[in-house]
Amino acid sequence: MPRPPEPEDLRARGRWPPPPGRRVAIVGSRRPSPYGEAVAERLAADLAATGVIVVSGLALGVDAAAHEGALAAGGCTIAVLGTGVDIVYPRANADLAARILAAGGALVSQFPDGTPPQRANFPRRNWAIAALSDVVVVVEAAEGSGALITAEAALALDREVMAVPGSVFSPLSVGCHQLLRDGAGLVQNARDVLAALGAQQEVLDDPLKPPASLGLEAPAGGRDGLLQHLSDALMTEPGTLARKLGLPLPEIMSRLTALEMAGAVGRRGAGYVRLAPGGISRAGVG
């Protein structure tokens, strides 16, 4: 078991040590479904709005969505890097890193300045994320995903591990479901996480209330019936839609393109998924 770094061992840019307050790590797949990305962003925003500091790894996908969500709520967020603190990797997140610093957050690293991205360093970085957090929430992790290393580290370090459930058909939810089966806390919304932090007792009086703060508004594209048959995590093939709706395939294809142009659906593999409105659009394609 690697020795987790103490905060004073870390090289940092930005405000360090961080302001006092509870810290929650939100980690997950670098290529999440639109569902996973939307959950990470909303969860981070809701937690940040209550003053929680969101910790993540500045990777693509769930990590970036978590940082974005925290920033959108005007919160403070910490990015734990697997490179030297003077190197932003991946480059696609350079702008995000700058905004984290501008918002009073920090980039930190246990590696010397100038350390380039190296495969072996990322698991160690995941230990640091766990060490810096009170709770680790895993949002979408395929089997063998790096986010599961963070969860393992959290257990070893006696941190609370929580996970967001997904579709039983989705490979991206396999890791989360394993965690839940093994006793991780269930996260349906920010209140579940706040409860685990032992804070904000007053919000817990109605635990069965629908998780409003995670609810997605009706996607753009109006009341197109096609959308009811599309999932936000699992792709549906045009042929399946044609069969379910009893419509000719050419019509389904043209309606899907219209929805795609309106930003309401995106392509995934051989099918389409529903996109969250106003969400960050990286999940739109691919």
CA distances for 123 relative to 57, 149, 253, angstroms: 11, 7, 43
Read off the DSSP letter of residue 72.
Answer: H
Mapped onto helix, strand or coil, the DSSP state of residue 22 is coil
Residues 6+ apart with CB under 8 A from 230: 236, 241, 265, 272, 273, 274
Task: Calculate the CA 257 to chain-centre distance.
Answer: 27
Taking CB under 8 A as the rule, does residue 286 contact other proteins? yes
Torsion of CA 46, 50, 52, 56, to 10 degrees: 20
User: Binding other proteins by CB under 8 A: which of 161, 271, 274, 276?
Assistant: 271
Query: Of 4 and 263, which has the nearer Cβ to other proteins?
Result: 263
CA–CA separation, 139 vs 28, rounded Å? 5
Query: Of 204 and 285, which has the nearer Cβ to other proteins?
Result: 285
Taking CB under 8 A as the rule, does residue 113 contact other proteins? no
Taking CB under 8 A as the rule, does residue 95 contact other proteins? no
Query: Which x/- pattern, by CB under 8 A, does the window 218-257 give for other proteins?
Result: ----------------xx-xxx--xx-----xxx-xxxxx
Closest separation in Å from C-beta 41 to other proteins: 18
Taking CB under 8 A as the rule, does residue 171 contact other proteins? yes
Taking CB under 8 A as the rule, does residue 177 contact other proteins? no
Residues that bind other proteins (CB under 8 A): 30-31, 60, 90, 142-143, 169-172, 174, 234-235, 237-239, 242-243, 249-251, 253-258, 260-261, 267-271, 284-286
